[in-house]
A and B are shown apart, each in its own frame.
Chain A
């Protein structure tokens, strides 16, 4: 079974631009969560989607948004990028409470 895939792996953007990151969960997993990892703040929960519905949201500004498609693939969007948005963005999928598998991450650099 293929693992969680994320595209692109690396991205460089300029302040003020917007970006869309993609995540394909493990086949059969309906829950997709997103996390931001920075050296200063560590790993922080962004949001979770289940069956195309946002089920939980972390404490991030409205510039961060996401969605999930009927095939469980998910995208997250960050508008009006700021330097502080530079981070590793990790996506995780699960089929139950006892597991959560992460993808390789997208490393975003904002200049």
Chain B
């Protein structure tokens, strides 16, 4: 079974509109972390936002917010006021367990295209 599922291969959004990128996950661990990354065509993975499984509030970082629904095992990324520069691939990833291991499992990504 997929540990991280991103069901939207591609999305279009108009400039200045908000967009939600979906991510569902599967784990039996009680402690885990969820990450979102942006990958432009240059290839670099840019860290956007993190949500810990025990965090009481949804994470926010500027125009990015994470809609974390633990019972539904979903961690959707919301981008407000989209900009042309937001056009890129977006990946959801999960770190399972505690300790200091840094292994991330990634989803297949969503390609976001922002239009005028």
Contacts and interface: CB of A to CB of B under 8 A. Distances in A.
B101 interface: yes
Contacts of B109: 42
Contacts, number: 65
A17 B95 CA distance: 34
A102 B98 CA distance: 21
A56 B103 contact: yes
Given A42-B108, A42-B109, A58 B103 contact: yes
A90 B47 contact: no
Contacts of A56: 101-103
Contacts of B47: 99-102
Interface residues of B, number: 24
Chain B interface, DSSP helix/strand/loop, else mixed: strand
B91 A33 contact: no
Contact of A97 (B42, B43, B100, B106): B100
B106 A42 contact: yes
Contact of A103 (B35, B44, B103): B44
